[in-house]
Amino acid sequence: MTDGITIGQAATFAGVTVKTIRHYHQHGLIDEPRRDRSGYRRYGSADLLRLVQVRTLAGAGVPLAEIAAILDADPERFAAALIDVEQQLTSRIDELIARRDMLHRLTGGDRALLPDRACALLDQMPGLGYTADDVTTVREALVLVRALVPEGFDNYLAQIERGLDDPRYVSLIQRCWRAGDWEPDDPRIDELAAALADHFLTDPSLLPVLAGLQDRDDGAIRYELLTHHGDDQKPAWARLAVLIEAHLRSAGIDIAYQTPTD
């Protein structure tokens, strides 16, 4: 009868490394085998069987902390434990698939932060004459709206969808984008603000309204972050927003928060 095999041989036969076997010892998954006269560990067939069992469960994704209890359980508990592990693995697989899908979406930049409905709107815009910069501006705005007022996001998308079906409104909005390159005191800004306000009065459903914003204690701060996005690079937009609000207020339209004029 053999005196047993060395740790190196056990590792070879079980298809693991010596380091892995020692790691299993540290976790109490495999008992320390007896040592020969030279002080070397000698593994018997029972040790090798246990090693293969541990390696198989670990390779199947069972956490090391759960392996000992599974191997020492009766057949019924063993089967139940494996079902539980399978459910955990399925959950992890679903999570990994979701992460992989997110990586694919990240190739579109901020599009990964938006639902398909919003992306469909962005895809529609170039065909209506919007430039790549316009689409980028809208995409950034949608990301901010979704983050700051998630409860009103679907309603906001519905307003944009209605607007894209209105040629006159599309033309006015495109002029707004061009106005970003004007000087803040350009008289065309006054004319554009009046024209856009008149269009809102003609069709109030196009007036951007963020449902739920007024119900928030910090609604005014969120409103400022949304309405002033891009003002640093395009100061004419800040003046345009103030003028549009002024026209609407003078017509009796209630604006949730006043945009500062300074």
Q: Are residues 90 and 52 in the same domain?
A: no
- The answer to whether residue 239 is domain-embedded is yes
Q: Are residues 247 and 141 in the same domain?
A: yes
Q: Are residues 114 and 207 in the same domain?
A: yes
Of 108, 129, 158, the domain-final residue: 108
Residue 255: the pLDDT is: 66
Global pTM?
A: 0.53
Note whether 85 and 99 are within 8 A (CB). no
The encoded tokens of residue 246 equal: 């002024």
Residue 59: the pLDDT is: 85
Residue 231: the pLDDT is: 60
Q: Are residues 162 and 126 in the same domain?
A: yes
Of 60, 88, 108, the domain-final residue: 108
Domain range spanning residue 103?
73-108
Structural domain count, the chain: 3
Comparing C-alpha atoms, which of 194, 209, 210 is closest to residue 250? 194
- The answer to whether residue 233 is domain-embedded is yes
Residue 262: the pLDDT is: 36
Of 68, 86, 120, the domain-final residue: 68
pLDDT in tens, 48-67: 999 998 998 888 888 888 88
Q: Are residues 238 and 131 in the same domain?
A: yes
- The answer to whether residue 37 is domain-embedded is yes
Reading the chain (262 residues) residue by residue, the pLDDT tens digits are 457 889 999 999 998 999 999 999 999 999 888 888 888 889 999 999 999 989 988 888 888 888 888 888 888 888 887 788 788 888 888 888 877 776 666 555 556 678 889 989 999 989 988 888 888 888 888 888 888 888 889 988 998 899 889 999 999 999 988 898 899 899 999 999 999 999 999 988 888 777 777 778 887 788 777 776 666 677 888 888 889 988 988 888 876 554 433 3
- The answer to whether residue 185 is domain-embedded is yes
Residue 11: the pLDDT is: 92
- The answer to whether residue 257 is domain-embedded is no
Q: Are residues 141 and 191 in the same domain?
A: yes
Determine the Cα–Cα distance for residues 73 and 53; give it in Å rounded to an integer. Answer: 13
Q: Are residues 159 and 58 in the same domain?
A: no
Q: Are residues 89 and 138 in the same domain?
A: no
- The answer to whether residue 52 is domain-embedded is yes
Q: Are residues 144 and 213 in the same domain?
A: yes
Determine the Cα–Cα distance for residues 21 and 14; give it in Å rounded to an integer. Answer: 10
Residue 261: the pLDDT is: 38
User: Per residue, what are the HEC states of the chain?
Assistant: CCCCECHHHHHHHHCCCHHHHHHHHHCCCCCCCCECCCCCECECHHHHHHHHHHHHHHHCCCCHHHHHHHHCCCHHHHHHHHHHHHHHHHHHHHHHHHHHHHHHHHHHHHHHHCCHHHHHHHHHHHHHCCCHHHHHHHHHHHHHHHHHCHHHHHHHHHHHHHHHCCHHHHHHHHHHHHHCCCCCCCHHHHHHHHHHHHHHHHCHHHCCCCCCHHHCCCHHHHHHHHHCCCCCCCHHHHHHHHHHHHHHHHCCCCCCCCCCCC
